[in-house]
Amino acid sequence: MAKGRGATLQIEGRFENVARERVDDGWCTRDEELPPFRTTVTVEKAKSVIQRHDSPDLPFERSLNAYRGCEHGCIYCYARPSHGYLNLSPGLDFETRLFAKPAAANLLRAELAKPAYQCSPIALGSNTDPYQPIEREWKITRQIIEVLAECRHPLSIVTKSALVERDIDLLSQLARENLVQVFISVTTLDAELARRMEPRAATPRRRLLAMQRLNDAGVPCGVMVAPVIPYLTDAELENVLQAAHEHGGHTAGYTLLRLPYELKTLFSDWLGTHYPLKAEHVMSRLREMRGGRENDPEFGSRFSGQGLFAELLSRRFRLACERLGFNRRENALDVTRFIKPDKYGQQSLF
């Protein structure tokens, strides 16, 4: 287990045709301490940056990810298996071998400038966190928001980082024209659980403070209680919503834990390592909420689950939101203010 990292395994991705394991070679090296996993960042030469979606259960049609991999190291992250496409491990590689797209803002500008482009809100943070630690140095997310602000293009952001406060100047400018919505992801209020589960993300208390500061600046910021994990975080649902309400939140959402592909193995091993007495209870209840499977990829049920306990969770969420006044405001972003940019970085005079 690597100190300060989320994954307890470095497993091969599903596209690999070889497997590696540590063995005793006679030199007594099998139990030697391995060197620490250090974060490396590789430049990715992307050709485009806007991804388009047709999923009926997503609230957006377009997303943009400035990075691949995420140093936050959240063990439950559904994006981990995507590292398999790079012939890298969804385990420790996902949180240590990162890829950055420094040309993202220029590519975005060029795509927005195309004659056929039609404005629709762009989601930042749909796969990996746009404000993960390396953003402090690379500032790619900031550059992207600068382009969107210049063009008056609507966007939404999901993050579990307090670094989002750095861009309050841009976000408040967008908020004045109903062009931005921010969600802070809060999985638990238990700092010790968060440290094990999301080792390099901001503490729950710090995320709530960021939510407060955004709302005080006029930037509408809500909460995503995601993912809800049976027997581990589900009892906190109402408390997280209450805390978000106390920090200015007016919108809320939740999702049930998803375990696609290799994530099943990674999460199960993490559970057995950190919470061995709860591990079987967690997985059993999750299978019960997933129709007997550990993951349900079906539209309509993949985010919320199915069955009695999924219905109870949904009802608890709905009643808490009604009591606290969440989701009463219209939060549709304005797409009518969009100004097509000149792809070379200068607005047209006409």
Give the domain CATH number at 295.
Answer: 3.80.30.30
76, part of any domain: yes
Distance CA 14, CA 4 (A): 25
pLDDT digits (tens, 9 = 90+) for 87-135: 999 999 999 999 999 999 999 999 999 999 999 999 998 999 999 999 9
24, part of any domain: no
Going by C-alpha positions, the residue among 194, 185, 340 that lies closest to residue 252 is: 185
98, part of any domain: yes
Helix (H) / strand (E) element for 221: namely: strand 221-228
95, part of any domain: yes
Least confident of 30-39, 41-50, 214-223: 30-39
346 vs 120: which has the higher pLDDT? 120
Going by C-alpha positions, the residue among 14, 200, 3 that lies closest to residue 90 is: 14
Q: What is the pTM of this model?
A: 0.90
195, part of any domain: yes
175, part of any domain: yes
Res. 348 pLDDT band, cuts 50 70 90 = very low
Q: How much is the mean pLDDT over the chain?
A: 92
Answer for the pair 337, 152: CB distance below 8 angstroms, yes or no: yes
**How many CB atoms are closer than 10 A to CB 123?**
23
226, part of any domain: yes
Q: Is the confidence at residue 21, as pLDDT, over 80? A: no
pLDDT for the residue numbered 75: 97
The domain total for the chain is: 1
Res. 17 pLDDT band, cuts 50 70 90 = low
Res. 34 pLDDT band, cuts 50 70 90 = low
Residue percentage of the chain with pLDDT more than 90: 84
Mean pLDDT of 221-237: 98
Q: Residue for token digits 């030697």?
A: 32
Q: Is the confidence at residue 349, as pLDDT, over 50? A: no
Q: Is the confidence at residue 26, as pLDDT, over 70? A: no
Question: Which two structure tokens, joined as six digits, stand for 82?
Answer: 């995507």
What are the start-end ranges of the E strands in 88-171? 97-100, 122-124, 155-159
26, part of any domain: no
* Domain span holding position 304: 44-324
pLDDT for the residue numbered 8: 75
